[in-house]
Structure 1
């Protein structure tokens, strides 16, 4: 896994406009390329000799090849939009970080079951979304199948059939309330979270396409 870090110093006169634009426009645009797993937006706590304010955005990406594709396919247009809007008002530089190893503190705060049948079963996605790998168990969701229609022609969703013979196998993970909110953000506006009952009798959350 890699981290693509962009550090920016923004002039005080443009700070508020730029900050709102980063949160509401630019960072969502970068994530919408589909190249990155997550983003963390931070303020650097340092007084700059040049003045202004310094921020860092850290985007996690699965591998270097995907990051190179971002540079080639998406970055030029996104950089151009920054220059058009804030020309002469900011200075940015990028840093690439390769994750060598990761360590996690296990906390006994998990209170929710989440039934997964797609990308949330992938270790790299779990690290990007929850900052830890998840340990789950297999279960089945009766009376559902995977729909033939996909979200954005890429991502699967569930279809309720009501037929007892239909069933979907998946992994169930135990999440804290905070982690469940992170999962909501990852799944995005195209999905909604619903409560379902698994074959084991356990109640869990699952994501399904919004109608």
Structure 2
């Protein structure tokens, strides 16, 4: 396994979404992302809707208040799995490297 961390606060935590995109269930640790607030976005990609079962997905917006925190899971993944996650996320999202409450850094998808 590799040291790539992916922080998920939404559908990438769903076992069915993980199996569809990574071919396995991911192992992760609960953590928090600081300085963001949660919103929703309408998803139009039929494949993503079929895999997640949802047409509205959570999405993160930056906050000026570092006390704002989002609960989620930090998953250890491979480079190929990170590319698979990129393919799963719609154009509404962009991937950034962000610090977690644990002191680790992880890739996370936020509003584009």
TM-score class, shorter? 0.7 to 0.9
**Counterpart-to-counterpart distance in 2, 1:142 and 1:201:** 11
Distance 2:89 2:82 in 1: 11
Runs of 4+ aligned structure 1 residues displaced above 3 Å come to none
Partner of residue 162 from structure 1, selected from 59, 64, 71: 64
Structure 1 residue 111: deviation in Å?
2.8
Q: Tell me the CA shift for residue 113 of structure 1.
A: 0.3
Count of aligned positions: 101
Give the gaps of 5 or more residues in structure 2: 44-54
State the alpha-carbon separation in 2 of the partners of residues 208 and 151 from structure 1. Answer: 14
Q: Higher strand proportion, which one?
A: 2
CA contact (8 A) 1:111 1:177 kept: no
The residue aligned with 2:37 is 145
Q: Look up the match of 2:26.
A: 134
CA RMSD of aligned residues (A): 1.4
Which of 171, 178, 195 lines up with 2:80 in the alignment?
A: 178
Which ranges in structure 1 are unaligned for 5 or more consecutive residues? 1-107
Cα distance change of structure 1 residues 164 and 208 upon mapping to structure 2, 3 Å threshold: closer
* Residues 93-140 of structure 1: CA deviation (Å, up to 9, x unaligned): xxxxxxxxxxxxxxx3x2310000101001011000000001110000
TM-score (norm 2): 0.83
TM-score (norm 1): 0.46
Distance 2:15 2:92 in 1: 22
Question: Is 1:206 the equivalent of 2:108?
Answer: yes
Task: Kindly name which structure, 1 or 2, has the bigger radius of gyration based on alpha carbons.
Answer: 1
CA distance in 2, matches of 1:198, 1:132: 24
Q: Please state if 1:124 is matched with 2:16.
A: yes
Aligned residue runs from structure 1 range 39-54, under 5 A? none
User: C-alpha separation between the residues in 1 aligned to 2:100 and 2:86?
Assistant: 20
- Shift of residue 143 of structure 1? 1.3
Partner Cα distance (1:159, 1:140) in 2: 15
Deviations 1:173-205 (A, max 9, x none): 011111100000011322110110001111110
